[in-house]
Amino acid sequence: MPGPDHEQLGLGIETDAGAPQPSSGAASEPDGRVVRVRPDVVGIGRSFDYLVAPGTRVEVGDVVRVRLSGRPVRGWVTAVDVVPDDGHRLLAVTRVSGRGPTPDLIELATWAAWRWAGTPAHFLRTASPDANVDRLPGPASRPARPPAVGRADDALGPSDRAVVSRALDESCAVLRWPPAADRTALVRTALARSGGGSTLVLVPGAADARVLADRLRRDGRSVALRSGQGGAAAAGQWARARSGADVVVGTRSAAWCPVGGLGRVLVLDEHDEAYQGDQTPSWHARDVAVERARRAGVPCLLVSPTPTLEALAAGPVFDPGPGLRRAGWPRLEVVDQRDLDPALGPLFSPALVDLVRSGGRVLCVLNRTGRVRLLACSSCRTLARCDVCDAAVSEEQAGDAGEQVFVCSRDTTHRRPPLCLDCGATTFRNLRLGVGRAREELEVLVGEPVGEVTRAGGDPDPGTRVLIGTEAVLHRVDRADGVAFLDLDQHLLAPRYRAGEQTLAILARASRIVGRTGGRLLVQTRSPDHPVVVAVRRRDPASFSEDDAALRRSLGLPPFTAMALVSGPGGAAFVEGIGPVEGLAIQGPVDGVWRLRAPDHGVLCDALAATARPPERLRIEVDPLGS
């Protein structure tokens, strides 16, 4: 929403509009330094000039307290030694609270506010310590010959070591690292080639970040951990990172952690959706890391077993040798549900029964919360799919005659007659699946209690051998002897254009879980020839990426276009305020949501930034994750 007029604020100079304006209210004497401050106030996207008393130490990025509209607020110093216009009296900075973001992060926050239609204050909060930091520790001493060097070399074969070295030498590169391959060895190799600078390593999960940090500390490295914890301890880790630790390890927010002497950036599991939050602005840590490395002139390496198409466009792609690929991907067992005995039901194939009775710990995944209602041909049991984009379809009535048609779950303009694409039959049946009922039947099959895990539930009992749940079960358990997807089609045919990419990522996570024990990976599907299934079976995720890129390019979907969703009470007024922009298409509203598409982010983000915000609540999602 638009900020209040400067004369209503009772403070000095509005800087974003050009020439300074006179302030109102009490003011300090015009001696001392003048600094520019961006207040941490929702709805105010401007900076103002304030006076700092002589002898007060203040730097760009420092956190300060100022008076705004008669009340004290927090802010960040964005410029020092500012020269105000003669004749204007300024309010004084109330207090310098401590150190804050570095100057490079101040500039990066301005870029991110444009890129994700937000305000710099949002990103500066993320870049600030959790508690006041008034002094920084001295830089950590780096060992001349860290013990990790030999260990990193021993963990990789000569050919794989050469591939990793070439990837690390690129300004920005992508490394397809198999899910069960040793990521710690990869980080150690990167540290051995760091050349003395600090390395920033992003990890999607807090638990994995802590494990990696502990291993690197045992190597003798100085480590700062930024993984979402708060309070004084987190502020201490923030200070250690800014002063120049060997390595800074953290989750999504660590993309904004100040790092003294940044020398390299690594993003592990770049594909993981944890790098993009649900709140707006919908920034992605991968894109922040890539831009930050580019501005700093340091290498950035994106690591993933299944890189996203966005990552694949960032730089050259490197693949390890076939030996590491075979070891890093487990053998995939595929059950064609079309061939199952109807008396057994669609979930419990003989292969699944054998797996859950094998004696090891088994995780069963069933996506009961999916929005798709699957239809299967009554004759050949093949799933009904869109003939344009291969998504699931639903059956609806069309026209005055009430004729039945199949409607695509992703794009309702894709319609076709209700015919099976494989055998031409016209009779279909609904498939209704549920975790609760499946758990009861599993308990009968295995003769022991079966645990149920969903996103809303707590951690599973470590003594329960067989667990069933949504994909949340894969985030609650890190080791298992077997993982079974009871109906992979719930993932493959979800009404999202990223459904295939997301399914491949889920299978990679399951592969890591069983890869730690040498276990089994089983999927049940009515689409055994789907490119995702074929790619995992061949241990070749690149083959799916090529097919997916061709499909998205033909349909004009990201990353070949830029997309944003606009919603909320102020959505209509905001969309109406967007002027004519060449290349920008506005679709909707559908259920109160407008979809904006442009050929690139320059066109899209410029249009969003140039449009005035209405006073009503507004939600803008750039690069929406769930669409």
Q: Which of 131-135, 155-159, 176-180, 436-440 has the highest mean pLDDT?
A: 176-180
The reported pTM is 0.84
Please list, residue by residue across 392-426, b when 16 or more beta carbons sit within 10 angstroms of its beta carbon and e when fewer do. Answer: bbbeeeeeeeeeeebbbbbbeebbbebebeeeeee
Cβ neighbours of 481 (radius 10 Å):
19
What per-residue confidence (pLDDT) applies to 154? 52
| Section 615-624 average pLDDT | 94
Average pLDDT, the chain: 85
Task: With a cut of 70, say whether residue 149 has pLDDT above it.
Answer: no
Q: For residues 197 and 188, what is the distance between their CA atoms, to the nearest angstrom?
A: 14
CA 273 vs. chain centroid, Å, equals 4
Place of tokens 């979907």: 557
List the structure tokens of 102.
Answer: 């570095």
Task: With a cut of 60, say whether residue 151 has pLDDT above it.
Answer: no
User: Per this entry, what is the length of the chain?
Assistant: 627
Helical residues (DSSP H) of 1-134, grouped into ranges: 6-9, 103-115, 120-127
Please, which pLDDT band fits residue 399 given cuts at 50, 70 and 90?
low
Q: For residues 394 and 372, what is the distance between their CA atoms, to the nearest angstrom?
A: 8
Q: Yes or no: say if 354 and 446 are a contact pair by the CB < 8 Å rule.
A: no
Going along the chain from its start, the domains and CATH numbers come out as: 6-127 (no CATH), 148-326 (3.40.50.300), 331-551 (3.40.50), 562-622 (3.30.70)
What per-residue confidence (pLDDT) applies to 114? 96
Q: For residues 513 and 285, what is the distance between their CA atoms, to the nearest angstrom?
A: 24
Q: Yes or no: say if 482 and 360 are a contact pair by the CB < 8 Å rule.
A: yes
Catalogue the E-assigned strands of 148-191: 172-176
Mind listing the pLDDT tens digit for each residue in 272-319?
999 998 888 999 999 999 999 999 999 999 999 999 999 999 999 999
Mind listing the pLDDT tens digit for each residue in 460-505?
778 889 999 888 899 989 899 999 999 999 899 888 889 999 999 9
Closest Cα to residue 320, out of 200, 510, 185?
A: 185
Task: With a cut of 50, say whether residue 353 has pLDDT above it.
Answer: yes
Q: For residues 22 and 193, what is the distance between their CA atoms, to the nearest angstrom?
A: 54
What per-residue confidence (pLDDT) applies to 530? 94
249-263, 332-346, 490-504, 535-549: which has the minimum mean pLDDT? 332-346
Task: With a cut of 90, say whether residue 157 has pLDDT above it.
Answer: no
Q: For residues 586 and 596, what is the distance between their CA atoms, to the nearest angstrom?
A: 5
CA torsion angle 221 222 226 231 (round to 10): 140
What per-residue confidence (pLDDT) applies to 368? 62
Write down the number of H helices and E strands in the chain: 20, 28
Mind listing the pLDDT tens digit for each residue in 87-102?
667 889 999 999 999 9
First-to-last C-alpha distance (Å) of the chain: 25
